[in-house]
Amino acid sequence: MILTSANLVFIVTLTIMPFLLIGVIKKIKACFQNRVGPPVFQSLYNLVKLFNKDEILSKDCSWIFRSGPLISFSGMLLLCLSVPWLPLQPPVPGCDIFLFVYVLALIRFFSIISSIDAGSPFSSFAASREATLSFLAEPAFVLALVALGISAHSSDLALIFGQPIENNRIPLSVWFFSGLALFLSGIVELSRMPIDDPSTHLELTMVHEAMVIENSGPNLALVEWSYALKLLLFFGLIAQCFVYSLSKIIALPPLLLPLSVLVVMLALGCLTAMIESFSVKLSWGKNPDFIAYAVSMSLLSSLAAFAMNGGS
């Protein structure tokens, strides 16, 4: 890989941005709660610390338990490498929407089974909820991407997101609604408020945190890291959607684009933090109602795609 400036930006994004996003969210939440909050890169420090720690495993668990985090991390990294970042083409080419979605599913599959592996009722319970939430949110996520794909006449992510702004045929409304749908389903997928509370430690209400309740040491580090990458991946896609829709209104200079994506990602982090500060966690039974919004946004986006597609 030739070390161009674009690639440099890419590598920096991939290494720094995930931790930065988590840090920003935590910091802003702390601000709203009148706390100082941890340093912005606290999660990175945590990671280093965890990698140097001993690991405790349950006596009942098997190799599946350790394979879960490994697979999620490898998978997330792979996905991050195969998704375009606005002007940057991915190093791993040929990833289409469905492959993307199903690699995510593969990761989910292994995280579900590895969380049940130790036989802990808490993590298994969370796994059940995770499975339920994810299949409910799946249509929203897929349809949002497919709507984009239909407008772009391709299911290849590189062709949907990686187009130069001037040949971008996808209309504003599709970008916008898809972005919204992705954001809402991202809240579900990333276990954020109001679906899941990542900061409490009550086993019975959590989903993601409870799933990894048995993990420790390097194993937990991989989980945290892959979560951070997932955050990056989702926010990256969402941010691109919004940047594109923005670019339909204001002509952005090409050089500013990568920067604007990063800015929008941070802004999304702020938004998430604000939502988490101002909303309460929904009761379990209300979750489908929330997901329904995500699905409606994706449906709106697909309708928009059809409406705009007819002309061409």
Pick out residues in 100-119 that bind other proteins (CB under 8 A).
Answer: 101-103, 105-106, 108-109, 112-113, 116-119
- Kindly indicate which of the ranges 38-46, 51-59, 229-237, 248-256 contains the residues binding other proteins, using the contact rule CB under 8 A: 51-59
Residues 26-45 that bind other proteins (CB under 8 A): none
Smallest distance from other proteins to CB 229, Å: 12
Q: How far is CA 81 from CA 10, 67, 87, 95, 220, in A?
A: 10, 21, 14, 10, 22
The residue among 45 and 102 lying less far from other proteins, judged by its C-beta, is 102
Smallest distance from other proteins to CB 38, Å: 24
Nearest to 88 by CA among 172, 22, 1, 173: 1
Does 246 interact with other proteins (rule: CB under 8 A)?
no
Specify the residue for token string 């929904």. Answer: 282
Total binding residues toward other proteins, as defined by CB under 8 A: 85
The residue among 123 and 260 lying less far from other proteins, judged by its C-beta, is 123
Q: Which of 46, 218, 274, 282 binds other proteins (CB under 8 A)?
A: 218
Does 54 interact with other proteins (rule: CB under 8 A)?
yes
Nearest to 240 by CA among 262, 256, 269: 262
Q: Do the Cβ atoms of 260 and 244 come closer than 8 Å?
A: no
- Kindly indicate which of the ranges 4-12, 32-40, 55-63, 270-278 contains the residues binding other proteins, using the contact rule CB under 8 A: 55-63
Q: Do the Cβ atoms of 162 and 102 come closer than 8 Å?
A: no
Q: Which of 4, 15, 58, 279 binds other proteins (CB under 8 A)?
A: 58
Q: Which of 57, 159, 252, 282 binds other proteins (CB under 8 A)?
A: 57
Residues 69-98 that bind other proteins (CB under 8 A): 70-71, 73-75, 77-78, 82, 92-98
Residues 147-186 that bind other proteins (CB under 8 A): 147, 149-150, 153, 155
The residue among 43 and 82 lying less far from other proteins, judged by its C-beta, is 82
d(CA 195, CA 297): 17
> Which tokens go with 261?
């994506």
Smallest distance from other proteins to CB 131, Å: 4
* 3 state DSSP class of 83: coil
Q: Which of 135, 254, 279, 286 binds other proteins (CB under 8 A)?
A: 135
Does 188 interact with other proteins (rule: CB under 8 A)?
no
d(CA 258, CA 45): 27
Nearest to 306 by CA among 182, 149, 159: 149
Q: Which long-range contacts (CB under 8 A, 24 or more apart) does 10-16 make?
A: 10/85, 10/88, 13/85, 13/232, 13/236, 13/262, 14/80, 14/232
Nearest to 103 by CA among 77, 132, 67, 137: 77
d(CA 85, CA 13): 10
